[in-house]
């Protein structure tokens, strides 16, 4: 893949709900000094802090419903 | 870079038939008999074993084919005519049984809500699944996962702009981002090895019931027909949106039962990857398609609904069997 980072700024998509979408590859330094990396074409960064695989989004920001078997229950 | 075990590509064997129609299709592919006649086709259950297997066999010629079947059969006009006669009642059953939404946004919004006390297959496997049930699940899912993301590639020439760019990016990720050892179908083959299943392509076709075949036939149907490109996109969005939470539960099931690192990794990778894919598919692929082809809105919704409907039918079969301690498979693995 061509490295276009020098030609244009990296795009980050921010919405009120859901993760930040950042063009990869990325290296992220965490509070404890460790770094995690991803070379995915795009990464989803958790902003709700509920992710069980922080800093990556795991869709834990989604609304919950008590309904026993809606369409998403698979 | 890890080496990927390479083995020569071999076509799977034709499976045993499941009725009059599939028997005739198999005989035709072997060159030993005629295609099924009008009477057999007219009386078939569109979601039953016989029709679903026959349709699967027709579609498989576009993927890897079968041992002993000439490759040119893929474009045999007589076989394509029979395929169309099988697709018609299948599609009609889907439209009649599955359609619940008129608009893509409504259908997708419903999937973006997570149940607190879900009762689906992934919940069952996470909470109380046993190793034999995980193996049955993987064997039946292998009919799709060993060609993961392949049927969706057929939609690429039918998309433009944002929809095409988004779809291609997600597909690139599904196929390992340029690395053979990360191709999702390879990760699934590794999972199968951890579970002591045979990762050979097509190995568990005969073990898989009509409900499992229908899920795969749906993708082939939507993928092969340009007229159904909206439904293909809706189907893909539904899969990507529901994948992350379900994969987290399945990763937990694999960990709890000590299935092995590759088994756990397949689902852990899907939690992370599909949280990204879901965003790209909704924002770029679905929105991008409907921006340039707004008349496909109901088709996208249909693709979402049909996916959910067939997945629920598969879940019912699996859970009904497992809750009474029975196998969900047609033949033992």
- With b for 16 or more beta-carbon neighbours within 10 A and e for fewer, the B314-329 pattern comes to bbebbbebbeeeeebb
Q: Note whether ipTM > 0.95 here.
A: no
Q: What is the pLDDT of residues B248-264, one digit of tens each?
A: 999 999 999 999 999 99
Q: Using an 8 Å Cβ cutoff, are B276 and A57 in contact?
A: yes
Q: Residue B307: pLDDT above 90?
A: yes
Q: What pLDDT, on the 0 to 100 scale, is given for residue B127?
A: 96
In the numeric block, the tokens 């889907």 are attached to: B94
Q: What is the pLDDT of residue B8?
A: 76
Domain count, chain A: 1
Question: Of B97, B112, B133, at which residue does a domain stop?
Answer: B97
Cβ distance A62 to B112 under 8 Å? Answer: yes
Q: What range defines the domain where residue B79 resides?
A: 20-97
Whether A2 is in a domain gets the answer: no
The reply to whether B251 falls in a domain is yes
Kindly report the CATH number assigned to the domain that includes residue B264: 1.20.910.10
**Residue A72 confidence (pLDDT):** 54
- Greatest distance between any 2 Cα atoms in chain A: 50
- At B235, the pLDDT band (50, 70, 90 cuts) reads very high
Tally of domains within chain B:
2
Same domain, B88 and B128: no
Would residue B69 count as lying in a domain? yes
Please confirm whether the linkage preceding A25 is cis (ω < 30° from 0): yes
| SS3 state of residue B286 | helix
Chain A partners within 8 Å of B251 (Cβ): none
One domain, residues B193 and B290:
yes
Average pLDDT of adjacent 10-residue blocks, chain A of 74 residues? 68 92 96 96 96 96 74 58
Residue A8 C-alpha, separation from nearest chain B C-alpha, in angstroms? 18
Q: What is the DSSP string of B209-247?
A: -HHHHHHHHHHHHHHH-GGGHHHHHHHHHHHHHHHHHHH
Instruction: Let me know if residue B6 belongs to a domain.
Output: no
**Residue B11: inside a domain:** no
Measured between CB atoms, which of A40, A57, A62 is closest to B177? A40
- Residue pLDDT, tens place only, B180-194: 999 999 999 999 999
B275/B212 same-domain check? yes
Closest CA to B82 of B38, B39, B44, B47: B38
pLDDT digits (tens, 9 = 90+) for B37-49: 999 999 899 999 9
* Residues in B lying within 8 Å of A, measured between beta carbons: 110-123, 169, 172-173, 177-178, 241-242, 244-246, 248, 268, 271-273, 275-276, 278-280, 283, 308, 311-312, 315
| Beta-bridge mates of residue B114 | A64
What does DSSP say about strands B113-115 and A63-65: parallel, antiparallel, or unpaired? parallel
Same domain, B85 and B42: yes
Is the domain of B79 the same as that of B200?
no
Q: Which residues of B touch A58 (CB under 8 A)?
A: 244, 248, 271-272, 275
**pLDDT mean over B5-19:** 87
Q: Do B36 and B169 fall within a single domain?
A: no
What is the helix (H) or strand (E) element at residue B281, kind and residue range? Answer: none
Has residue B102 got a pLDDT over 60? Answer: yes
The pLDDT tens digits for B139-182 are 999 999 999 999 999 999 999 999 999 999 999 999 999 999 99
| pLDDT category of residue B284 using cuts at 50, 70 and 90 | very high
Domain final residue pick, B97, B115, B132: B97
Nearest to A66 among B117, B275, B279 (CB): B117
Domain boundary among B73, B97, B121: B97
Is the model's pLDDT at B6 over the cut of 70? no
Shortest distance, CA B160 to any CA of chain A (angstroms):
19
Please tell me the distance in Å from B42's CA to the nearest CA on chain A. Answer: 32
**Average pLDDT across chain B, whole number:** 96
- Contacts made by residues A52-55, CB under 8 angstroms, sequence distance 24+: A52/B248, A53/B268, A53/B271, A53/B272, A55/A28, A55/A30
Q: Provide the domain limits for residue A40.
A: 9-61
Task: State the Cα–Cα distance between residues A15 and B57, nearest whole angstrom.
Answer: 45
């Amino acid at each position: 893949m061509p490295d276009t980072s020098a030609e244009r700024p990296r795009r980050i998509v921010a919405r009120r709900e859901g993760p930040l979408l950042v063009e990869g590859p990325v290296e992220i330094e965490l509070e404890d000094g460790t770094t995690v990396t991803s070379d995915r074409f795009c990464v989803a960064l958790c902003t709700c802090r509920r992710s069980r695989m922080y800093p990556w989004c795991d869709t834990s920001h989604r609304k919950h419903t008590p309904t026993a078997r809606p369409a998403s229950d698979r | 870079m890890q080496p990927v075990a390479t083995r020569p590509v071999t076509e799977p064997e034709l499976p045993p038939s499941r009725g009059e129609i599939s028997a005739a299709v198999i005989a035709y592919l072997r060159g030993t008999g005629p295609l099924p006649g009008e009477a057999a086709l007219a009386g078939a259950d569109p979601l039953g074993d016989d029709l679903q297997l026959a349709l699967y066999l027709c579609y498989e010629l576009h993927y890897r084919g079968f041992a002993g079947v000439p490759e040119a059969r893929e474009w045999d006009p007589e076989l394509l005519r029979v395929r169309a006669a099988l697709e018609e009642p299948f599609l009609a059953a889907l439209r009649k049984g599955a359609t619940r939404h008129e608009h893509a946004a409504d259908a997708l919004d419903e999937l973006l809500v997570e149940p607190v006390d879900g009762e689906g297959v992934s919940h069952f496997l996470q909470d109380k699944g046993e190793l034999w049930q995980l193996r049955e699940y993987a064997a039946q899912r292998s009919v799709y996962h060993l060609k993961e993301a392949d049927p969706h590639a057929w939609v690429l020439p039918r998309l433009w702009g944002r929809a095409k760019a988004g779809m291609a990016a997600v597909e690139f990720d599904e196929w390992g981002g340029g690395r053979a050892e990360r191709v999702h179908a390879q990760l699934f083959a590794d999972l199968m090895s951890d579970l002591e299943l045979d990762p050979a392509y097509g190995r568990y076709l005969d073990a898989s019931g009509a409900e499992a075949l229908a899920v795969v036939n749906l993708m082939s149907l939507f993928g092969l027909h340009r007229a159904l490109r909206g439904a293909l996109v809706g189907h893909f969005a539904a899969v990507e949106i529901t994948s992350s939470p379900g994969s987290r539960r399945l990763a937990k099931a694999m960990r709890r039962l000590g299935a092995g690192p590759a088994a756990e990794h397949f689902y852990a990778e899907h939690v992370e990857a599909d949280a990204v894919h879901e965003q790209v598919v909704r924002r770029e692929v679905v929105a991008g398609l409907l921006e340039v082809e707004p008349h496909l809105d109901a088709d996208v919704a249909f693709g979402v609904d049909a996916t959910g409907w067939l997945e629920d039918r598969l879940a019912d079969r699996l859970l009904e069997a497992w809750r009474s301690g029975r196998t969900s498979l047609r033949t033992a693995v």
